[in-house]
């Protein structure tokens, strides 16, 4: 099952980006599939797009052949999908559009929130002091230094969420927004709500809005 999830991850990247397999024309050719080249640059690109755990696993030279085997199988399936003109189906085009939109949202959050938010050791210590009682319920007696790395990650995400909320609220204030809320429930009608309470804002670790 884990292999299938990873396989789906790689396939998704190739469906969205039609240039899959076109990376680095001058890069050494590692394999060919029905005349299509798989280059070292293709493999590097796939590794860059992997979650850290997979990236670390496939960075091991002993596992690189396994990655190549996956890419060959994926390329064969992609060729079959092209023969069947799957990419021309309206339902597939809609899904590709939705996935592209999601990627663009994640990227703008990355550029404007994740990459602009840092946290200092003092802020981590202050976060611990402010939440010490609650933290110790889960820390099982571990000291601050023992859980500092994990705390830093949690505190950073909290700071990013706060930064994200303020950033989005600023964008909402600048945007021209109209609503026809009665169309959501034409029988009963719905009382207008302010933009601020339309959704619970936040971001997940991969930069996806959570509201």
Extents of the domains making up the chain: 2-88, 110-197
Report residue 14: phi and psi, to 5°.
-75, -35
Strands (E), the chain: 29-33, 36-39
Report residue 206: phi and psi, to 5°.
-95, 10
> CA 127, 128, 130, 134: dihedral to nearest 10 degrees?
120
Instruction: Tell me what the mean pLDDT of segment 78-86 comes to.
Output: 96
Average pLDDT, the chain: 83
- Region at 136 (left for phi over 0; alpha for psi -120 to 50; beta for the rest): alpha
Instruction: Tell me what the mean pLDDT of segment 109-126 comes to.
Output: 95
The answer to whether 12 touches 50, Cβ cutoff 8 Å, is no
CA distance 184 to 87: 33
Question: In the prediction, which pLDDT does 154 show?
Answer: 94
Question: In the prediction, which pLDDT does 14 show?
Answer: 52
Question: In the prediction, which pLDDT does 59 show?
Answer: 84
Give the chain's largest Cα–Cα span: 65
Has residue 5 got a pLDDT over 60? no
DSSP secondary structure string, 111-170? HHTGGG----HHHHHHHHHHTHHHHHHHHTT--HHHHHHHHHHHHHHHHHHHHHHHHHHH
Question: In the prediction, which pLDDT does 193 show?
Answer: 54
Residue given tokens 């010490």 in the structure block: 132
pLDDT in tens, 160-180: 999 999 999 999 999 999 999
Q: How far is CA 65 from the centre of its chain?
A: 26
pLDDT in tens, 15-73: 444 445 555 468 899 999 999 999 999 999 988 888 888 888 888 888 889 999 999 99
In percent, how much of the chain has pLDDT > 70?
A: 77
Structural tokens at position 124: 């981590």
Instruction: Tell me what the mean pLDDT of segment 75-96 comes to.
Output: 96
The count of other CB atoms within 10 Å of the CB of residue 124 is 19
What is the value of pTM for the model shown?
0.60
In three-state secondary structure terms, 49 is: coil
Question: In the prediction, which pLDDT does 16 show?
Answer: 43
Angstrom distances, CA of residue 192 to CA of 180, 181, 199, 201: 9, 7, 14, 19
Q: How confident is the model at residue 205 (pLDDT cuts 50, 70, 90)?
A: low
Which of 69-73, 107-111, 167-171, 188-192 comes out lowest in average pLDDT? 188-192
């Amino acid at each position: 099952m884990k292999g299938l999830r990873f396989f789906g991850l790689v396939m998704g990247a190739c469906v969205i980006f039609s240039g899959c397999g076109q990376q680095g024309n001058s890069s050494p050719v590692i394999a060919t599939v029905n005349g299509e080249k798989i280059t070292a640059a293709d493999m590097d690109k796939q590794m860059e797009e992997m979650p850290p755990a997979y990236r670390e696993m496939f960075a091991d030279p002993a596992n690189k052949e396994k990655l190549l085997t996956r890419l060959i199988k994926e390329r064969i399936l992609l060729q079959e999908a092209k023969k069947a003109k799957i990419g021309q189906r309206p339902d597939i085009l809609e899904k590709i559009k939705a996935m592209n939109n999601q990627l663009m949202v994640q990227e703008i959050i990355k550029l404007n929130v994740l990459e602009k938010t840092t946290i200092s050791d003092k802020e981590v210590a202050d976060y611990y002091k402010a939440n010490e009682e609650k933290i110790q319920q889960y820390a099982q007696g571990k000291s601050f230094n023992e859980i500092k790395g994990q705390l830093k990650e949690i505190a950073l995400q909290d700071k990013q969420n706060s930064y994200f909320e303020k950033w989005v609220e600023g964008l909402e204030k600048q945007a021209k927004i109209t609503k026809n809320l009665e169309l959501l429930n034409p029988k009963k009608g719905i009382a207008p709500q302010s933009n601020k309470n339309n959704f619970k804002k936040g971001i997940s670790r991969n930069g996806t809005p959570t509201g």
